[in-house]
Structure 1
Amino acid sequence: MPAPAAALSLDVTPAPHAAIGLRSERGPVLLALMVSTGLIAIDATILATAVPSVVRDLGGFAQFPWLFSVYLLAQAVSVPVYAKLADVFGRKPLMLLGIGLFLVGSLLCGFAWSMPALIAFRAIQGLGAGAVQPISMTIAGDIYTVAERARVQGYIASVWAVSSVVGPTLGGIFSQLGIWRWIFFVNVPLTLVAAVLILRNFQERVQRREHRIDYLGSVLLTTAMTLLILGVLEGGQAWAWTSPVSIGIFVAGLVLLAVFGLVERRAAEPVLPLWVFSRRLLATTTLLALGVGVILIGLTSFVPTYLENSLGVEPLTAGLALAALTIGWPISATLSGRLFYLRLGFRPTVLIGLALTVVGTGALALLAQHPSVAVVAAASFVTGLGLGLVASPSLIAAQASVGWAERGVATGTNMFARSIGSAVGAAIFGAVANGVISASGRPETDPATATDAGAAVFVAVAIAALLTVAAGVFMPQVRADQATPAPEPETATETAAA
């Protein structure tokens, strides 16, 4: 059997003491990654501020969590597939495929005629995002060393900083003007620019070989997660929690997950290699990514709706309050390398970030019964600072602990966990909000009902933050200058020998 993916090499490789900026030899590739990241960064916040407008136009408030869950589910289940294929066929073709799918999905969303249609087209967008975000991070891991990534993170973080303001602002403006469909059409020029930059600037040489794609594992994982999210979102709405339908859906989802685990043990090239979870560093960073995903979706999808319905503020104002979260994230992510993990190590940096996250989400939960744009913005900013010190350092630690042939899988698993956390989190928080609204007997636009629903969601987010602390506590202590690739997994070694 052929050797693993060591057959692929990059024309742009890490070089000691090489320049980092956009004018350097690797600058064009960095610019391509920044624009590609911008696609996902803007999309992460632009829709949330327009949810009330979308609901007024298309109807289906109880279904709106699906706009986030189906996108994130499609992104999550496709990440491991793309990550594996990127280690097999190279980064560039998968990146271009993801950008193309994101373009098609955006166009279809812009022309959606109903809430179910919009939900379906969001799934196509999610399939594109599933390639763009993790492969961008993988390419950065390929061409920059750990020390260099501490500086490169500033460039990537600047994209999130700009997008954190542009996304909610555009979403609020389009919503107020009654043209929310432009939330999706604005992606068209961005996708075209990203594709051209990748085509022109990123070069790699790939030696083709035969592979076994884990189609069965992919189908099992997708079906299992779809059933579990369906059960959470529709439980208490379409059917009672204790009904045979509800119980059957959850049991089927759990059984399929168990079968997925058995299939992955026997798969020649598993879509989600179980060896990832046998290494303590990779296992804990994966759990951290899961928690980050839950916390992030809880705020990005519910803060604007909470403020708009409880206080009656304009979508633009609600969007700017949400922007505080995504401004705090890139600020701390930019500083995380030089001020924290290069000096203290990855684990202390993550624990500092988790402490800030608990403070921010805790304040939001405690004060939610007294709606205030300023309070929400301040709490979101602190939470963003914390998440920036958790997400980026933990991902870089995971990448630095593996070799090239495993880096795509390690990055993909981390992104997969974050997306799954967001997908499941959106479903759980949606169920919490819908439950409070149903119990009140009043519409979701009633200020008191909106306040109660928002408060319940924010309490759940704070609980998720506390649970995530456990993963940070058990993360092994590794300094950046000690991070070295782990040995190839035994299965890959056997494949190479064969």
Structure 2
Amino acid sequence: MATNTLPDIHVNSRHRPLVLTACMLSMFMAAVEVTIVATAMPSIIAELGGFSLLGWVFAIYLLTQAITVPIYGRLADLYGCRKMFFIGTFLFLTGSVLCGFAPSLVWMIAFRALQGLGAGAITPVATTLIANIYGPHERAKAQGYLASVWGVSAIIGPLLGAFIVQHFHWSIVFWINLPIGVVAMIILARYLPAEETKKQHALDMAGTVLLSTAVAALLLALLQAETFGYYSLLLVGVAVLATLLLIRQERRAPEPLFPLTLWQNKVVVAGNIGGLVIGASMMGISAFLPTYVQGVLGGSPLQAGTTLALMSIGWPLASTLSGNLMQATSYRFTVMLGALLLVAGSLSLLMLTADSGLAWARCASFMIGAGMGLCNTTFLVSVQNSVEASVRGIATASTLFTRMLGSALGTAILGATLNLNLQHRLPTLSDPVQTLMDKPLRQQLSTGQLGHIIEQVSASLHWVFILAAAISIFALAAALLIPAGQRPVQSKK
């Protein structure tokens, strides 16, 4: 357990809110990117063509971001957060500018890859930076504010994207990042002192290559399973082999990319399990609750969006409150409360029926969001407070990386669960969900046909919700790994 009770980087107390604001701006920029671009994609495809490559616009961004998150986390430990923040933000903004000038979707995908390479630095480095300028007692509240950015961006992104596409050229959805990123860089250049490098460091290149190979192979297998078919199993095999070689490499590297001593810390293990669970559970509601609202309940896209937005409202509210709660009680209590909300919200989805109103779905959405907000912030703060400053970057990045990995796993597993159920229940109907969500197709069905399809799609989605609820229970198990009674310590004056 780390014992330091003072910040590791001294920033004038008057300037710390400015640094926090800069980090929140940068994280908003990276977090909003997926949703704002998704809204603009129909306009982009209409101009550039290449519809068959549409999935890669999102997959390549997530892939390069996920690969580089742990790498930047370790680089921040070795060379300082300030330097890595500027490098990552510069790459992200360069990719953003180039995306706006993309002459074809192929070039768009290439520039999105560059964006992802920069985004991989922004979240872990900004999160580690806040941990370094605030002492453990203040860290919980600061990280709560930082975490709330994700919920806010989930609401603002689609609305902002729709406004831009309606009134301006689609390139603005990328270029809007430029003033945000430049302001964040100017603030940090002015008010954040550079960390001193006490000795020469050498990045574990072999470990970096093996980690990149393992992550790329696994995420490609998950994100492109339908495209690759059985070749996905080969990619999983490559990921397993690269992981085994990575463990071997890290045991003998003088400055390992992933110090194996981290995994002897129960709090770090709990944080990574929690990140995996949160990521997977989040997909259970983000990807499939809107489908239930529109397909089974017959709601409009606006009703589905507002239902999901309640999760995005619950997350930042709970994240902001989590700091005071973990200080008043403990890390374990706060995570347990969040996990119970997560489980309760997931189980509430099982009560949905074709005759249910939207109120029940919205209540479940809010509970799940609040549970994720409590769990995510508390896991992150407990990990940062339990390790020494020399490995805080990679410890932080690992929890963020496992959340991203959990999202990919959740999408693949829950999506496969839905597809298998639909194939079993409606073997003669090629795309029953699309049939329900497409109004002209839905109106062509007789009352009996419509009722049968709704019943079977509802039952299939319930299996998805059952599996999501089962996954969420592991958050309770992760909470029990955190030693009882631990909480943020009061900074020494």
- The interval holding the TM-score normalised by the smaller chain is 0.7 to 0.9
Higher deviation after alignment, 121-130 or 280-289? 121-130
| Letter of the structure 2 residue corresponding to residue 414 of structure 1 | T
* 8 Å CA contact retained: 2:137, 2:489: no
The structure-2 alpha-carbon separation of the partners of 1:238 and 1:62, relative to structure 1 and needing over 3 Å to count, comes to farther
* Contact kept in structure 2, 1:307 and 1:371, CA below 8 Å: no
Pairs within 5 Å for 1:152-171: 152-153=142-143, 155-157=145-147, 159-160=149-150, 162-171=152-161
Distance 1:321 1:423, change over 3 A: same
Cα distance change on mapping 1:169 and 1:352 into 2, 3 Å = same
Mapping of residues 178-189 of structure 1, within 5 Å: 182-189=172-179
Equivalences for 1:83-98 in 2 at 5 Å?
83-98=73-88
Is 2:59–2:223's contact at 8 Å kept on the other side of the alignment? Answer: no
- CA separation in 2, counterparts of 1:423 and 1:11? 38
How far off is 1:52 after superposition?
Answer: 7.4
Q: Say whether 1:330 aligns with 2:316.
A: yes
Distance in 2 between the 1:367 and 1:182 partners? 40
Using the size of structure 2 for normalisation, the TM-score is 0.81
By how many angstroms is 1:331 displaced? 0.6
- 1:148 matched residue in structure 2: 138
Please tell me whether the aligned partners of residues 233 and 431 of structure 1 are also in contact (alpha carbons under 8 angstroms). no
Letter in 1 for 2:364: A
> After alignment, is 181-190 or 342-351 more displaced?
181-190
- 1:120, CA displacement in angstroms? 4.7
Instruction: State the alpha-carbon separation in 2 of the partners of residues 424 and 328 from structure 1.
Output: 23
* Amino acid paired to 2:316: P
> Which deviations, in whole Å up to 9, do the C-alpha atoms of 1:280-316 show, x marking residues without a partner?
1111111111211222344345555665666786655
> Quick check: 1:96–1:195 contact (8 Å CA) kept in 2?
yes
Distance 1:274 1:384 in 2: 32
Q: Distance in 1 between matches of 2:298 and 2:326?
A: 42
Question: What residue is the counterpart of 2:125 in the other structure?
Answer: 135
TM-superposed deviation, 1:464: 2.3
User: 1:479 maps to what in 2?
Assistant: 486
Instruction: Please tell me whether the aligned partners of residues 99 and 194 of structure 1 are also in contact (alpha carbons under 8 angstroms).
Output: no
5 Å-filtered alignment, 1:236-255, equals 236-239=226-229, 241=230, 245-255=231-241
Tell me how many residue pairs correspond in the alignment: 462
Q: CA deviation at 1:352?
A: 0.7
Q: Which secondary structure state, in structure 2, belongs to the residue aligned with residue 204 of structure 1?
A: coil
Structure 1 residues 406 and 226: alpha-carbon distance in aligned structure 2, compared to 1, 3 A threshold: closer
Cα shift readout 1:111-158 (whole Å, capped 9, x = no counterpart): 556666555544333222221111111111111122212333454355
CA contact (8 A) 1:169 1:320 kept: no
Instruction: Write the distance in 1 (CA, Å) between the matches of 2:305 and 2:131.
Output: 32
Cα distance 1:471–1:147, how it changes in 2: closer, same or farther (>3 A)?
same
Q: Does 1:470 align with 2:487?
A: no
- Aligned-partner residue type, residue 103 of structure 1: L
Work out which of the residue numbers 172, 193, 202 in structure 1 matches 2:192: 202
TM value normalised by structure 1:
0.80
Matched to 2:331, the amino acid is F
Match of 1:43?
Answer: 33
Aligned-residue offset at 1:402: 1.8
Is it true that 1:345 corresponds to 2:330 in the alignment? yes
Partner of 1:409: 394
Q: 2:430 aligns with which of 441, 444, 451?
A: 441
Which runs of 5 or more residues in structure 2 are unaligned?
1-6, 438-452
Confirm or deny that 1:257 pairs with 2:243: yes
Change (3 A) 1:426 1:371: farther
Whether contact under 8 Å (1:172, 1:317) holds in the other structure is no
Partner Cα distance (1:252, 1:195) in 2: 39
Change over 3 Å in CA distance of 1:373–1:466 after alignment to 2? same
Cα contact 1:40–1:133 (8 A) shared by 2: yes
Q: 1:257 to 1:328 in 2, by over 3 A?
A: same
Within the candidate set 371, 386, 410, 2:371 is matched to 386
- Say whether the 8 Å CA contact 2:152–2:316 is kept in structure 1: no
Secondary structure, aligned partner of 1:342? helix
1:416-435 alignment, distance < 5 Å = 416-432=401-417
Rate the CA distance shift 1:207–1:475 in 2: closer, same or farther, 3 A.
closer
Instruction: Give the partner amino acid of 2:480.
Output: V
Structure 1 residue 421 displacement after superposition: 1.8
Residue in structure 1 matched with residue 268 of structure 2 by the alignment: 282
Partner Cα separation in structure 2 for residue 182 and residue 313 of structure 1: 31
Matched AA of 1:275: T
Query: Counterparts of 1:166 and 1:376 in 2: how far apart (Å)?
Result: 21
1:361 matches 2:351: no
Q: Distance between the aligned counterparts of 1:62 and 1:361, measured in 2?
A: 34
CA shift digits 1:389-414 (9 cap, x unpaired): 10111111111112221211221222
The root-mean-square deviation of aligned C-alpha atoms, in Å, is 3.6
1:291 paired residue number: 277
Q: Does 1:104 align with 2:94?
A: yes
- The alpha-carbon distance between structure 1 residues 480 and 9, as it changes in their structure 2 partners (threshold 3 A), is closer
Output the amino acid matched with 2:181.
Answer: T
Distance 1:62 1:324 in 2: 32
